[in-house]
Amino acid sequence: MKTLLTFWASLWFCCAGAAYADTPPITTFVQQLFPHGVPQAQASNYSSADTAVLLTLLADSKQQDLHANILETLGYIGDETTVAPIVAYIQGGRGVISAAQFRAKSSGLLALGYILNRNPNSSALLYLTDSLDHQTWQARDIAWTTAFFPDLISRDVQLVRQAAVGMTLSGSPQAAAALKRKLSPQVSDNPDLQPASNSMLDEMLKANQTINAHGLDNYQSTLSGDSLKLKPVE
């Protein structure tokens, strides 16, 4: 139950940003506080012409409190050339990182899902698919950790779950197939290594299908409480 609530909380915070009428300069936009996640409606107004500025900010450690906003915005822009820098950001760093940095790295996995939603990018799909296995994270030799996970396995399982949310939000049928293949619950002596229960996987697959059928922006409207209501694809 806790895992299912975590999944829906992730969807809410990444999808429920309200729309804004104006389009400020990109540097002003990412400096705003978005309690419910970066709003797709406004972030999508920016283009590949803005990615260089965003990547420069992403490389600045003094701007780490903005990194989550930057990564989500990059995802909504959907420029495929940013896949490699996003992956490098997720895996980069050493030592104990802050909560803001971990949130940003988690947002990087969502950003890859957003890019995949806009473009059938094979690199984003492959990275997210591989990221659905905690052993893959171990093999990547990630050199950073956090103070709020008791061990590296707990960190890696959380990253698997975040990658699963990214795959869900992509609306990609290939992503749905990977979710079903990789996350179908197995009998295990250690339930902590099971990223998704049957009910959670079912919800992810339904959300993925709904996004594929109706679009991510319409799906976000249902989460933010707008009048548009979409029925999950059965």
DSSP states of 147-202: TTSSSHHHHHHHHHHHHHHHHHHHT-HHHHHHHHHHHS----S-GGG----HHHHH
Please give the average per-residue pLDDT across 84-104, as a whole number: 96
Please give the average per-residue pLDDT across 205-215, as a whole number: 95
Confidence of residue 206 (pLDDT cuts 50, 70, 90): very high
Paired tokens of 69: 């906003």
| The pLDDT value given to residue 12 | 45
DSSP symbol at 96: E
| The pLDDT value given to residue 1 | 44
Residue whose C-alpha is closest to residue 18's, from 36, 31, 33:
36
Confidence check: pLDDT of 230 > 50: no
Q: What angle do CA 33, 169, 63 make, to 5 degrees?
A: 30
CA distance 73 to 204: 23
Please give the average per-residue pLDDT across 10-37, as a whole number: 73
What is the rounded average pLDDT for all residues in the chain? 85
| The pLDDT value given to residue 26 | 97
Please give the average per-residue pLDDT across 53-59, as a whole number: 97
- One-character DSSP codes across 45-79: T--GGGHHHHHHHHT-GGGGGGHHHHHHHHHHHT-
Confidence of residue 191 (pLDDT cuts 50, 70, 90): low
pLDDT in tens, 114-170: 999 999 999 999 999 999 998 999 999 899 999 989 899 999 999 999 999 999 999
DSSP symbol at 129: H
Confidence of residue 80 (pLDDT cuts 50, 70, 90): very high
Please state which of the ranges 27-31, 93-97, 229-233 shows the lowest mean pLDDT: 229-233
Residue whose C-alpha is closest to residue 68's, from 94, 96, 44, 101:
101
Question: Structural domains in the chain?
Answer: 39-216 (1.25.10)
Confidence check: pLDDT of 105 > 90: yes
